Amino acid sequence: MVGNVVITLGCTGTITGFDIDTTGFMDASPSNVLVEGYVENQREEGKWIILLPNVPIEMNSHNFYKIQHDPRIYSRLRLTTAPGGGIARFRCYGQVFPVWTNLNHEYNLASANLGSQIVRWTDAEYANKPNILLDRGTSHAIVIDTSGFEGNSPSHIQIDGCNSDEIDPYMDPSVEWFTLIKATPCQPNDKTVHPIIYGLPVSHLKLTLFPDGGIQQVQALGIPYVKDDEEDAVMTLNENEAIIREEEKEQDAEKQLDNQISKEINHLLFPKSSDNTTIVKTITTKKRKSVELTERSVLKKPSTAPDTKPNRTSKRIKSKLT
């Protein structure tokens, strides 16, 4: 009996590994699993790619599998167990990589589902500056949400931005910070929209609180930024589909190469020489001619053998008389 389930990922991205946890399942865990990933594209149907090809797993343990470098962007997973059994947890590791369906649409570029993460923060002891990493884009507005914070929200906030290729911009010696929102009052238990006039791309945001207090959420509303250089462009459905088509071309080229190598090996092992064919034809022709000549000679040769039947009969009669 085989069981399977299709899982929609919380966000699209590349996959680096899996943890198939069978803790607590002794006799009821499956012996093998097959994991496939679904690649989004603009065709009528996407494409399922095998990531783990029917690999064995251990019962009552964590089963870690690493995926080699795979640039494809996945949105769903299909887990197949053979035979059907219990799995406590199924974890997928990777990097969030959004697939932009519309580059003119406004997104929350500070969303974790689009790859945003906090790379530095501050507290009472350490003077680290907080930064929010987001996909590079052009911000139109920043929303500061202090819902639930009434007595401990900051009185003022300030937001700065920069454009850096480093994950942590403080590792970039050439980084330049610019002010997006000057120090402005922050209302408790409220959601405030601050428009941004700055029209250049931003990769990081720095939020400064006066004094330190509680912030529920920060949203950076804007559109993705695309450079002219293809290597630095954001991923779109067209680019993801281009990766699939390139892989299909490589697979076809590999098949053609394998067929050519097989033909050459067969030619070396079993050569088809024209001389051999001629020799076989000649031998066959000679055999046919010899058979024809033999048949003709048999037909033309007169019968000189004496009629021995009467003699045999007479000998038998004489022997009886004697």
Q: Is residue 60 within 8 Å of residue 20, measured between CB atoms?
A: no
Structural domains in the chain, sorted by start: 3-96 (2.60.120.260), 107-224 (2.60.120.260)
Q: Which residues in 146-257 belong to E strands, given as ranges?
A: 156-162, 178-185, 191-195, 202-210, 217-224
pLDDT of residue 319: 45
For 137, half-sphere exposure in the C-beta direction (CA atoms, 13 angstrom radius) is 31
pLDDT of residue 40: 74
User: Which of 83, 79, 82 lies closest to 65, judged by CA?
Assistant: 79
pLDDT of residue 224: 84
Task: Classify residue 213 as exposed, middle or buried by CB count within 10 Å of its CB (0-12, 13-18, 19+).
Answer: middle
Give bridge partners of residue 248 from the DSSP assignment. none
pTM of the model: 0.57
The rounded distance, in Å, linking the Cα atoms of 51 and 48 is 9
User: Which of 21, 159, 139 lies closest to 79, judged by CA?
Assistant: 21
pLDDT of residue 275: 52
132: DSSP letter: E
pLDDT of residue 3: 82
pLDDT of residue 317: 43
Report how far apart, in Å, the C-alpha atoms of 4 and of each of 1, 32, 64, 136, 292 are. Answer: 10, 12, 19, 38, 72
Peptide bond connecting 310 to the previous residue in cis, omega within 30 degrees of 0: no
| Series of mean pLDDT values for 10-residue runs along the chain (322 residues) | 88 93 90 91 73 93 92 92 90 88 81 81 57 71 91 91 89 91 92 88 90 89 71 53 71 78 72 54 58 55 50 47 42
Question: 60: alpha, beta or left, given left = phi > 0 and alpha = psi -120 to 50?
Answer: left
Question: How close are the terminal C-alpha atoms of the chain, in Å?
Answer: 94
Token pair 């046919």 is at which residue? 288
Encode burial over 67-88: b for 16+ CB neighbours within 10 A, e otherwise.
Answer: beeeebbbbbbbbbbeeebbbe
Residues 6+ apart with CB under 8 A from 152: 213, 214
Task: Please report, as a single letter, which amino acid is at residue 116.
Answer: S
Torsion of CA 266, 272, 273, 278, to 10 degrees: 170
Centre a 10 Å sphere on the Cβ of residue 29 and count the other Cβ atoms it contains: 24
Return the H-helix or E-strand segment holding 152: none
